[in-house]
Amino acid sequence: MVTGRKWVGTAFGGWKSSDDVPKLVNKAALGEWPIDAYVTHEIEGLEKVNDAIHALHHEFCLRAVVKISEPPKV
């Protein structure tokens, strides 16, 4: 029982989206944060985005990535 308290959910686990999300993206891009282990589904093409949403609604999908186009060559 919780008395005198209020439970609230957060979108980013307490991170400030405008300040902290770009830092997380940078860490992932540099390979400092291994996000590949959390991606369970990769969907090819934007026209199949509903397939990704369907997968996310079921327990067998942790994260789905929709590949819109090939990344640019550096």
At 2 the pLDDT is 59
Confidence band, pLDDT 50/70/90 cuts, at residue 1: low
Which residues in 44-66 are b (16+ Cβ under 10 Å) and which e?
eeeeeeeebeebeeeeeeeebeb
What does the pLDDT look like over 12-66, one tens digit per residue? 667 777 888 888 889 988 989 888 888 899 999 999 999 999 998 987 888 888 9
At 11 the pLDDT is 66
Max intra-chain CA distance, the chain: 56
Q: What is the pTM of this model?
A: 0.52
Neighbours of 7 (CB within 10 A): 5
At 50 the pLDDT is 93
